[in-house]
Amino acid sequence: MPFESACEHVVALCLELSRRGYFAGTGGNLMLRIDAEHVAVTPSATDYAEMRPADVAVLRLRDLARVAGERPASVETSLHARVLRARPEVGCSIHTHQPVASACALLGRPLTVAPRWRASLGDCVPLVGYAPSGSAWLAARLGAALRPHLNAYLMRNHGILCCGPDSAAALQAVDDLEALAREHLAERIAEQVRAGRQPQLQRVMDALLASAQPDTPDQAFAAPPPQAHV
């Protein structure tokens, strides 16, 4: 299987995203750049706990024609392709419905990034307006928002997209965006509590702060991409 190592890497990355609570069941998807012509994409409607390397779709990036893999590619393939075509330095794109950052996407406002997260995220997290899942409209809206050095995007009512030069950097962006979103929501809730308008929100803030240290491995997921990006 010519693309076996890439497909194995996609499976491993999906399992790690599931373990961290960012993917669940069949929710979430990603694209990994293999070389100048090919990408590997999570399959459509496949439980990550059951996914095999042979299920991963390998596509030509230019036209998204499938060249390997037993299952059709994710319905969000065009969303990821928009990123990898526009930004050749990006090696991996991840779309999740991770809990805290997705809550920020529902609020409908971009986020300013604190200095400690700018290396992975950029200086802001833009808001992409709502469009139906899997639609060309959503891909176009994300494409209009793409900027160099901005590696995280809120998609209103539809979760988030993070990217990076390789899978380890993209996963780091997912982690850092969740931390940023947690801090942002905690600050908003604290303002309401201090003003005495929503005293019951103290319990929500306590839960957010208690989750500030997610269960992650001793070493970051840093499996290299299957081939050098060109």
Region 143-148 average pLDDT: 97
Helix (H) or strand (E) holding 39: strand 38-41
Q: Write out the two tokens for 39.
A: 């990408």
pLDDT for 179-198, tens place per residue?
999 999 888 877 777 776 65
pTM, 2 dp: 0.87
Work out the burial of residue 162: count CB atoms within 10 Å of its CB; fewer than 13 is exposed, 13-18 middle, 19 or more buried. buried
Average pLDDT over residues 171-182: 97
What CA–CA distance (Å, rounded) separates 229 from 40? 13
The pLDDT, as a whole number, for residue 86 is 98
Partners of 58 in beta bridges? 40, 68
Q: Which helix (H) or strand (E) holds 174?
A: helix 167-194
- 59 three-class SS: strand
> Which residue has tokens 């991996």?
92
Q: What is the pLDDT of residue 130?
A: 94
Set out the domains of the chain in order of their start, with CATH numbers: 4-210 (3.40.225.10)
Mean pLDDT value across the chain: 88
Say which residue, 197 or 83, is predicted with more confidence. Answer: 83
The pLDDT of residue 76 is above 60: yes
Alpha carbons 70 and 59: distance in angstroms, whole number: 12
Q: Cite the beta strand spans of 52-180 per DSSP E.
A: 57-60, 66-68, 92-96, 111-112, 124-125, 127-128, 152-155, 160-164
